Amino acid sequence: MLDKDELERYSRQIMLFGEDGQERLKDACVFIAGAGGLGCPVALYLAVAGVGHLRIADKDTVEKTNLNRQVLHWENDIGREKVLSVGDKLREINPHIEAETFHITIDESNVRELVGDADLIIDAMDNYPVRYLLNQIAYEKGIPLIHGAIRGFDGQAMTIIPGKSACFNCVFPSPTPTEVFPVLGVTPGIIAMIQVNEAIKYLLKKGDLLTDRLLIWNGLSSEMEYMKVSRRPDCKICGTGSKLQE
Amino acid sequence: MANVTVKLFANLREIAQTSSLSLTGESVKDVLLSLTEQYPALKELVIEEGGDVKLCGYINVFLNGNNIKHMEGLDTILNDDDELGIFPPVSGG
């Protein structure tokens, strides 16, 4: 049940999807992989929307070079674990939600437990190896995964409904070379908003998801393009020959 | 020969210093070879080293919004006014 304070706090969005919708958000659990450029705005906007249970994992501590884009980490947080910094801010901005945090490197040994029985996984990582792992776990557990990635003025996003739409490996079978990437804060901000919009639509069962199409954002021309993608029979995660197939 | 528009994304666009150019060719392969001839610095980012012309694994090429992986790949035949996008995934977060 929503209390009086929650009804008031969420009144402008309850106009959109009713108290039922708001309760659905309150009951939902979202696992956010990463508390950096994408993870901060993702967590912030899920929290203010009233998504009730957030689980956030990140291995890093806050550095000065993060502050141009990782908007929940402030000057006084330098040196603190990112997840603690994020957890504090979220509880302050919305006391009605729970934020559970894990200062940990996401890997094969812990990812199943970290994801738990979340309703959704949000990819706010900065590397492909962990993204492949998230995609595999999403497929194994049947939990949707919302991918986002950025570099400079460019970004991409896609929603994956395991077993139904193209998965991360279908679209990106080979990892990109790793690099210290240039980035401006607005780029992860824009991509994170697309991810949160997808998350809220999925939780409310509203609208059309960004499935089987990759959104490509070019900030320099302010253009969004879509690349149609589909499941690949030879995908090593969701393809017909995959060892993960039942 | 088809006249097509080639759109470049992310670091490919930065290297070529243009986001869009016109090229001609029969197939996707012809156009990619013409592109890398014009911008040699793009070659190692788009085409794998070796004898046969093969795309780098992480590069996605899409023709009018559809991935060429689901068509005839590099042998896909082009028509006038087709739009070919060459997209290196970004990885930051």
pLDDT tens, residue by residue, A80-135: 999 999 999 999 999 999 999 999 999 999 999 999 999 999 999 999 999 999 99
Q: Does A173 touch chain B (CB under 8 A)?
A: yes
Band the pLDDT of A245: cuts 50, 70, 90: low
* Residue A107 belongs to some domain of the structure: yes
* Residue A167 belongs to some domain of the structure: yes
* Residue A5 belongs to some domain of the structure: no
Q: What is the 3-state secondary structure (H, E, C) of chain B?
A: CEEEEEEECHHHHHHHCCCEEEEEECEHHHHHHHHHHHCHHHHHHHECCCCCCCECCCCEEEECCEEHHHCCHHHCECCCCCEEEEECCCCEC
Alpha-carbon distance of B32 to B8, in angstroms, equals: 11
**Residue B21 C-alpha from the chain's centroid:** 11
User: Which pLDDT does position A243 carry in this prediction?
Assistant: 74
Hey, where are the domains in chain B? 2-87
CB contact under 8 A, B91 and A123: no
CB contact under 8 A, B92 and A188: yes
CB contact under 8 A, B62 and A227: yes
Our CA-based measurement puts residue B26 at a distance from the nearest CA of chain A, in whole angstroms, of 22
Residues on chain B touching A155 (C-beta within 8 angstroms): 90
- Domain range enclosing A194: 24-245
> If you average pLDDT over every residue of chain B, what do you get?
93
> If you average pLDDT over every residue of chain A, what do you get?
95
pLDDT tens, residue by residue, A173-221: 888 877 788 899 999 999 999 999 999 999 999 999 999 999 999 998 8
Q: Which residues contact B49 (CB under 8 A, 6 or more apart)?
A: none
The separation between the first and the last C-alpha atoms of chain B, rounded to the nearest angstrom, is 41
Give the mean pLDDT of A61-77.
98
pLDDT tens, residue by residue, B58-67: 899 999 988 8
- Among A79, A58, A62, A60, which Cα is nearest to A70's? A62
- The shortest CB-CB distance from B91 to any of A34, A127, A214 is to A127
Task: Look at residue A47 and give its three-state secondary structure.
Answer: helix
CATH number at residue A149: 3.40.50.720
For the domain B2-87, what is the CATH code? 3.10.20.30
Type of residue numbered A210: L
CB contact under 8 A, B91 and A218: no
* Residue A227 belongs to some domain of the structure: yes
pLDDT tens, residue by residue, A91-105: 999 999 999 999 999
* Residue A9 belongs to some domain of the structure: no
* Residue A238 belongs to some domain of the structure: yes
ipTM of model: 0.83
- Is the per-residue pLDDT at B1 higher than 70? yes
Scanning every residue of chain A, which has its alpha carbon at the shortest distance from the alpha carbon of B55?
Answer: A174
CB contact under 8 A, B65 and A230: no
Exposure on the CB side of residue A6, measured as CA atoms within 13 A: 19
* Residue A50 belongs to some domain of the structure: yes
Residues on chain B touching A178 (C-beta within 8 angstroms): 91
pLDDT tens, residue by residue, B70-92: 899 999 999 999 999 999 989 99
Residues on chain A touching B66 (C-beta within 8 angstroms): 227-228
User: Which pLDDT does position A156 carry in this prediction?
Assistant: 97
Q: What is the number of structural domains in chain A?
A: 1
Label the pairing between strands A154-160 and A213-218. antiparallel
* Residue A135 belongs to some domain of the structure: yes
